[in-house]
Structure 1
Amino acid sequence: MGHLSNFLLPLVLALAPGSNARACQPSARTFEAENAILTGTRVESTLSGYTGSGYVAGFDEGSDKITFNIPSSITKLHDLSIRYAGIYGEKRTTIVLNGGDNTEVFFPATETFSTVSAGQLLLKEGNNTVDIVNNWGWYLIDSITIKPSEPRAPHNINPSLNNPNAGVEATTLYKYLVSIYGKKILSGQQDLSWANWINTQIGKTPALVAVDLMDYSPSRVERGTVGNSVEDAITHHNNGGIISVLWHWNAPTGLYDTEERRWWSGFYTDATDFDIAATLANPSGANYTLIIRDIDAIAVQLKRLQSAGVPVLWRPLHEAEGGWFWWGAKGPEAAKQLWDLLYDRLTEYHGLNNLIWVWNSIEPEWYPGDSTVDILSADVYAQGNGPISVQYNQLVELGGDKKLIAAAEVGAAPLPDLLQAYEAHWLWFAVWGDTFINNAQWNSLEVLREVYDHDYVLTLDEIQGWRNTV
């Protein structure tokens, strides 16, 4: 079970049939921020609407935080909520449990105090510390509330793909993914070269490899790029692996190509003046023609995968809600319209029936809808190898627990013991490449061995029968 086994044993016993642990647990408990230990922060009372005797402000330096001491009679999973004020705009904070596991929590902008769900905490028996650490900063914290978590209800996953013409490869893969969901997690890695690096380091190969169609973007090809990720995908597929594909879509035109933002960074919002909202509003315009040109160029590569019998976990327009990529720069409506165009062009026009469509944002206003999304996912870069349960629970809510959910990009591989304890049933994780998978601050070799040796984690050698799923 790994190095957390002794810690998690009390949790297993507490959840065993016949246990009276639930009856022993207290109900919701609230802890006022002004009574916490303050580090670089201060108590204020200027903004009305707070509870207790004040609230905590001063989150402006990286080390600024407040620390709550929380006793627990048993080892038990708890829901956490935070009462805050985001009067300086939307922000993010970092929650650190007992000096180890950390979770990033999003604070929407508010005019006064409001409450946000902040995921779950696996409190150990005895005293626990919960830190709220600066992160984006400039917010106000009034209090936190914890209450024992209810067991997760059974999932109700859609049994089939949205595309009625989906090919046998895609439908077989989807059936396999449904069969393991909540029972196992697929190990994954961005780029075949780094998957091979993992094998060299620890003797195990990820079940899933993610590749990027970036260098097939026409505005890169015309400047000399030559993609090789399709070949990498076919290689991993031929070895019995599963393939995920994203596309850092270089803007079709309008690249600044300055010293600060060269042409090869043209997928970033600040590297191009390409306006997707204006483009989609003018289907007869030249820029719309270029959008279609780009989609058709990528269709050529996806057809190569289809011809090779490769089902694809297809994740375009990733991280749209962040706004740092041009496809999300003009807000949710333009991004959803572009998603629909992609879906129609690739599925209906090009007849690509090997695609399993993976949406990659959490906020409800960005969601293009159940009818064109097969799997929900999030990209989460938080150190500590935690279960990233906040984002998982948000995606469960977004999809009504009818969609499979994946950690499509992570900086730190999640520890399997924590995934099980938190009931964060991610379908797969894929660690990003250079500076993350090979960085001990994010993923030590000890942690990678623990992850890859765990019986909850599927590696390449353990999924060889997936094509026989019926």
Structure 2
Amino acid sequence: MKRINLLFVFIMVLNDGFGQLIDQKGTRETVKLFKSLKKIQKKGVVFGHQHATEYGRGWSGEEDRSDVKSIVGTHPGVIGIDFSGFTGRNPELYKTKLRKTVQDTYNRGGIVTVAWHFYNPMGKGGFYWKGSDSLEVVSRLIPGGDGHEKYKAILDDIAEWVNSCKGANGELIPMIFRPYHEFDGGWFWWGAPHCSVEDFKTLWKFTLSYLRDERNVHSFIWAFSPDNKFETEAEFLERYPGDEWVDMVGMDNYADMGRNRYDLDAAVRKLKIVSDYARKHKKLAAFTETGLESIPNEKWWTETLLKVLQSENLRLSYVLVWRNDKKSETHYYAPVPGHVSAPDFIKFYEDKFTWFEEDLIKKNIYKK
């Protein structure tokens, strides 16, 4: 048994090189971000928050503000945005505001990650399955489907916007793109009960190849992230399109982190599957979504989240908690001044293992 463990460690060391982007034409800044995250995840983890600078509890659209900054004096290192509004009521205004968020984040020295709560393009519903037209959507979007041309037009719009996001010196801004997340659940129309394994893989491959090869999008780091329903590496990889199609592997997990139960052993075990796969295959790894709504546990940051992140020699580039709704009294995942968990969040921030925007600025992560 000891010999097997030593062999595993030896293999991990051999495979712990930098690897490279799957996009051979990836921009210099995107390649640098990939390599910087590889280095960071050997030392700690970058803290992220969804929609952190767009809005927070009781406010929206204020310059250089975030609820996190109101407590610790710096923004989260990773800022989560969403392409959902691209097919919303006023897409042009949405894209203009979102472009500014991306540019501001990058120009300060932070990192952008993109989710896509994709409104069903073939029905009247939203991104949830129960809000769809209850017909399979994925098979209609892939080549040969009756919605394929419509899907290409949507991707054209995304490509145009991504290639319009430029830094202060005119360089394209890198983004971690995480499409079709939580695909192992049934709540989204792209979820496992609503499409075959092969159709899902085809959708992923077409989306990537079309944006990269046809529309010249070369500033994406492509992230693959199911929810927490797997128990083995084989289950984690069931819908994995292949190493040539993925830069980062991750997992979303709220259930084990206090929402449904406190099962930190399960959370660590699943993250270890993600982390170990990334190390063996020279990919990035991340805890792509987590959090505890309203954060009633005043020690959640250090005794739950940090404890998990520091277990089992995990190598995770970032962890992202979900958004702070600007109107809801309960739907928020990061504290504000006076919140019961704020003192513990400060301890979480002060721990050398956690990285925030100020730490990324010091390291100048986009420069040679």
1:437 aligned residue (333, 337, 340): 333
Task: In structure 1, list runs of 5 or more residues that go unmatched.
Answer: 1-22, 24-149, 257-265
1:272 aligned residue (132, 142, 146): 132
Aligned residue number for residue 25 of structure 2: 165
1:288 aligned residue (148, 157, 181): 148
> Could you say if the C-alpha distance between residues 469 and 389 of structure 1 is closer, same or farther in structure 2, counting changes exceeding 3 Å?
farther
2:180 aligned residue (317, 337, 340): 317
Aligned residue number for residue 57 of structure 1: none
CA contact (8 A) 2:33 2:366 kept: no
Q: Distance in 1 between matches of 2:263 and 2:154?
A: 37
> Could you say if the C-alpha distance between residues 450 and 415 of structure 1 is closer, same or farther in structure 2, counting changes exceeding 3 Å?
farther
Aligned residue number for residue 209 of structure 2: 344
Aligned residue number for residue 241 of structure 2: 368
Aligned residue number for residue 358 of structure 2: 461
Q: Determine whether 1:185 maps to 2:45.
A: yes
TM-score normalised by length of structure 2: 0.75
Aligned residues: 310
Q: What is the percent sequence identity of the aligned residues?
A: 23
Q: Distance in 1 between matches of 2:263 and 2:305?
A: 6
Q: Distance in 1 between matches of 2:155 and 2:91?
A: 18
User: CA offsets per residue over residues 197-254 of structure 1, 9 Å max, x none?
Assistant: 111123232111111111012xx24799834323212111111111111111111121
1:203 aligned residue (58, 65, 73): 73
Aligned residue number for residue 287 of structure 2: 407
Cα drift, residue 282 of structure 1: 5.9
Higher helix share: 2
Amino acid at match of 1:346: L
3-state DSSP of counterpart to 1:463: helix
1:419 aligned residue (299, 309, 326): 309
Task: In structure 2, list runs of 5 or more residues that go unmatched.
Answer: 3-7, 57-64, 231-235, 293-300, 325-330
Q: Distance in 1 between matches of 2:308 and 2:179?
A: 29
Q: Distance in 2 between matches of 1:469 and 1:344?
A: 27
Aligned residue number for residue 348 of structure 2: 451
CA contact (8 A) 2:275 2:316 kept: no
User: CA offsets per residue over residues 422-442 of structure 1, 9 Å max, x none?
Assistant: 3222210111012242469x9
Aligned residue number for residue 226 of structure 1: 94
Q: Which has the larger radius of gyration?
A: 1
> Could you say if the C-alpha distance between residues 151 and 416 of structure 1 is closer, same or farther in structure 2, counting changes exceeding 3 Å?
farther
Amino acid at match of 1:371: E
Q: Distance in 2 between matches of 1:246 and 1:157?
A: 28
Aligned residue number for residue 220 of structure 2: 355
Q: Distance in 2 between matches of 1:277 and 1:421?
A: 37
3-state DSSP of counterpart to 2:127: coil
Where relative contact order (Cα < 8 A, 6+ residues apart) is larger, the structure is: 2
Q: Distance in 1 between matches of 2:177 and 2:340?
A: 26
Amino acid at match of 1:463: L
TM-score normalised by length of structure 1: 0.60
Q: Determine whether 1:378 maps to 2:241.
A: no
2:200 aligned residue (335, 342, 348): 335
Cα drift, residue 342 of structure 1: 0.7
User: CA offsets per residue over residues 272-301 of structure 1, 9 Å max, x none?
Assistant: 12523431466263x111111211122122
Q: Which moved more, 1:396-405 or 1:363-372?
A: 396-405
CA contact (8 A) 1:247 1:315 kept: yes
CA contact (8 A) 2:29 2:367 kept: no
Cα drift, residue 421 of structure 1: 4.0
Q: Determine whether 1:297 maps to 2:166.
A: no
3-state DSSP of counterpart to 2:184: helix
> Could you say if the C-alpha distance between residues 347 and 224 of structure 1 is closer, same or farther in structure 2, counting changes exceeding 3 Å?
closer
Amino acid at match of 1:454: D
CA contact (8 A) 1:181 1:427 kept: yes
Q: Distance in 1 between matches of 2:119 and 2:90?
A: 11
Aligned residue number for residue 328 of structure 2: none
CA contact (8 A) 1:185 1:456 kept: yes
CA contact (8 A) 1:376 1:405 kept: yes
Amino acid at match of 1:300: E
3-state DSSP of counterpart to 1:326: coil
3-state DSSP of counterpart to 2:204: helix
Q: Which moved more, 1:369-378 or 1:400-409?
A: 400-409
Q: Distance in 1 between matches of 2:263 and 2:42?
A: 19
Cα drift, residue 316 of structure 1: 0.9
